[in-house]
Structure 1
Amino acid sequence: MELPAVLWSLRMTPSRATGYTSFFMVYGSKAVLPTDLDYGAPRVRAYNEQGVEASLEDAMDQLDEARDVTFLHSTKYQQALHRYHERRLRGWAFNVGDLVLHLVQSNKNRHKLSPLWEGPYIVMEVLRPGTYKLKTIDGRVFANA
């Protein structure tokens, strides 16, 4: 019975990528909690039935602005994440004769327990940095290098 509480918590927590809650991104406003209704929170008391049309138009303008801000925030977040991961990458240079594994690119005839890498292969030739001609252990040239 804790699932609804966990889901509510996830929906009400602002995302690090966007800066807004998922509830706000879907509905365009902050959620009204049941306790806000019970105890008459200022937002609930300020609700006016006659001004709904005008406030709806204002909310739509704010939603468009919030989506623009979210897009910028998300882009900034992704760039920072990219810089973080780039910092941790190391370049690898292989020489002729090195043993390497090849990442399987095709998902054809594969399932979730299939290995991600195949090989080992021997580097036959360095075509340019990061591009190699490979051969199998028994000497056959690997076609998809």
Structure 2
Amino acid sequence: MITSTSVHPQANSQVESSNKIIINNLKKKLGAKKGKRAEELPYVLWADKTTSKIATGQTPFSLVFVAKVVIPTEVVYPTAKTSIRDPQTNDENLAQDLDTVEELRDQARFRMPTYQQKIAGAYNKNIRIRRFEIGDLVL
């Protein structure tokens, strides 16, 4: 599996982080049944893309497609959410959602620095500052 790219090296850590989450979820889902990894991968990927993230407060699916997720089970067995929808009004609602997509993405963009500061604060609280002077031996 290729986890880095020479074209966009700044994205390497993001890709590795995302891959780590997917692999950990696969391990939790499969347990001792490691031979079924390929069969369970679509479900784990679907769960990853439709779960809201703490950093943005949105699902990756909603940031890209500007729509709420309908899980495959709801298509086969209609629920109140899917059976009430009228195809004509659905198209109108999607058009309205396209108008607000930038606002949704801006909210996610503004939320990210706050999240990053919180994570940095949690990481840095255990760091001790050490001052070195000329002549100090440093390993």
Q: TM-score, normalised by structure 1?
A: 0.60
Is 1:42 aligned to 2:68, yes or no? Answer: no
Consecutive aligned runs of 4 or more in structure 1 exceeding 4 Å deviation: none
User: Do 2:50 and 2:61's aligned partners in 1 also have CA atoms closer than 8 Å?
Assistant: yes
Q: Which residue among 22, 44, 57 is the counterpart of 1:6?
A: 44
1:117 matched residue in structure 2 = none
Structure 1, gaps ≥5 residues long: 102-145
Report how many residues are paired. Answer: 101
Structure 2, gaps ≥5 residues long: 1-38
The letter for the 1-side match of 2:109 is F
Say which structure is richer in strand: 1
Q: TM-score, normalised by structure 2?
A: 0.62
Q: How far is the alpha carbon of 1:60 from its aligned partner? A: 1.4
The equivalences for 1:1-145 within 5 A come to: 1-100=39-138
Q: How far is the alpha carbon of 1:98 from its aligned partner? A: 1.8
SS at 2:87 equivalent: coil
SS at 1:80 equivalent: helix
Considering Cα pairs closer than 8 Å and 6+ residues apart, tell me whether 1 or 2 has the greater RCO.
Answer: 2
Say which structure is richer in helix: 2
- Using the alignment, how far apart are the partners of 1:93 and 1:25 within structure 2? 45
Q: How far is the alpha carbon of 1:27 from its aligned partner? A: 1.1
SS at 1:2 equivalent: helix
